[in-house]
Structure 1
C-alpha cells in the first residue's frame, strides 16, 4: 500500500486539496489516539517506563490546564535534570509519545487527556534540521524561559520544541493548542 490508504486518496481526489489536508490531519490524530489508548490505565504507562514529572506539578494557567506530565526519559533521551532538564532527544513519533498528560480526578484517579512530544532545540539543530518539527499541520511550539518574567515558560527544560495533542479531551482552542480550558488541576 502507498503512503495514504486508498480511501483517503479517492476522497481527496473527489473533495479537493484543502479537504484532503484536513482528512490526513484527522487520520493522523485518530492514529495517535488509537496508539495511546492503552495508557488510559496509568499502571500500563508506568509499566512502559513513564514516570510522573518529578516536580509533582499539575500544570495550569489562565488559558487552561495541561495536567500532570508523565515522562518517558528514554524517549526524551534526558542527559541531566539540573539546573534544567536537558537531553539529546529528537523523538517525534506520536504513535509512541514521549509524554502523557493526565488530569487528576476527584476520586484520586488520573484520566488521560492528551499526549505530547518534546525535542531539545540544540539536539534538533545538531541533527541537521533547520526548522522546528511539524505535526497536525503546523510547526511545534518553541519554548525557552524568559529570565525577565516570574514564570518559567520552558517548565524547567532547556530550550525545546513541543507539541501537545488533545486526543482524549476536546479543546475549544484546538487539538494542538498548548493549554486546554477543559483540563483542570482542581483535584491535584
Structure 2
C-alpha cells in the first residue's frame, strides 16, 4: 500500500481542465512493435541521453515498484533544447501513434527488450503554449514529475519538470498498464 500512496502523490499536481485521449492499446502495440528491433528505433531518430536504467530503488522509491528501464527519446518530437544539467525542451507532443519515448529493459545477453512507450511534455513548454488542460490517457491523468532536491533520488529522471504517461505494451504490469513503474521490469542487467 505504501507504493500505491507514493504513486498517487506523483499525480497530485495536475492542471485544471480535462483533455482526454482514448487510445486503442492493441492498435498502438501493432504500430510500435517495429521498435522491438532497437536498430529500427535508432534509424527513426530515437536516442538514449545517458543509457541510464531507471529503477524505483535508484530513484529513492520503494524497490517493490520495480523499474522503468532505459528511455530512448526522440529529440525532434520532444523539441529538446538542452541536455545539461537536465533534459529540457519545448515539446508538447501528445500523439500516441508516434510516442516520443521508447522504453527498453536490458537483458542478460546485452540486448534490449522493448517493454513500454511513453509520451512526455515539458511543463514550461505546455504552459508557454497556453495549454491548461489536464493530460489524461484512457481515464488516467498523466504524472507530474519534478525533482525534489531534498531527496536522494531524482524524481524527474534527469528531465526538467514535465508531465508523462507510460504504457506497458510488451510487459505485463500488475499495478496497471498505465502506471509509471513495473515490478516485472528490472535494471539487473544494465551496464551502469
Q: TM-score range by the shorter chain?
A: 0.7 to 0.9
Q: Does 1:59 align with 2:61?
A: no
User: CA deviation digits over 1:73-97, x for unaligned, max 9?
Assistant: 0011001112221110000111101
- Report runs of 4+ in structure 1 exceeding 6 Å deviation: none
* Counterpart for residue 11 of structure 1: none
RMSD: 1.4
Q: Which runs of 5+ in 2 are unaligned?
A: 1-20, 57-62
Q: Distance in 2 between the 1:181 and 1:57 partners?
A: 18
Q: Which runs of 5+ in 1 are unaligned?
A: 1-23
Moved more, 100-109 or 173-182: 100-109
Match for 2:176 among 174, 177, 181?
174
Q: Secondary structure at the match of 1:70?
A: strand
Q: Secondary structure at the match of 1:178?
A: coil
Q: For the Cα contact (< 8 Å) 1:29–1:136, is it kept in 2?
A: no
What TM-score, normalized by structure 2, do the two folds share? 0.81
Moved more, 73-82 or 122-131: 122-131
Q: What does 1:7-46 align with in structure 2 at a 5 Å threshold? A: 28-46=24-42
Deviation at 1:132, TM superposition (A): 2.9
Q: For the Cα contact (< 8 Å) 1:64–1:182, is it kept in 2?
A: yes
What TM-score, normalized by structure 1, do the two folds share? 0.83
Q: Distance in 2 between the 1:88 and 1:125 partners?
A: 10
Q: Distance in 2 between the 1:40 and 1:83 partners?
A: 30
Match for 1:150 among 152, 171, 186?
152
Q: Distance in 2 between the 1:73 and 1:148 partners?
A: 29
* Counterpart for residue 12 of structure 2: none
Deviation at 1:55, TM superposition (A): 2.0
How many residue pairs were aligned? 163
1 or 2, which has the higher helix percentage?
1
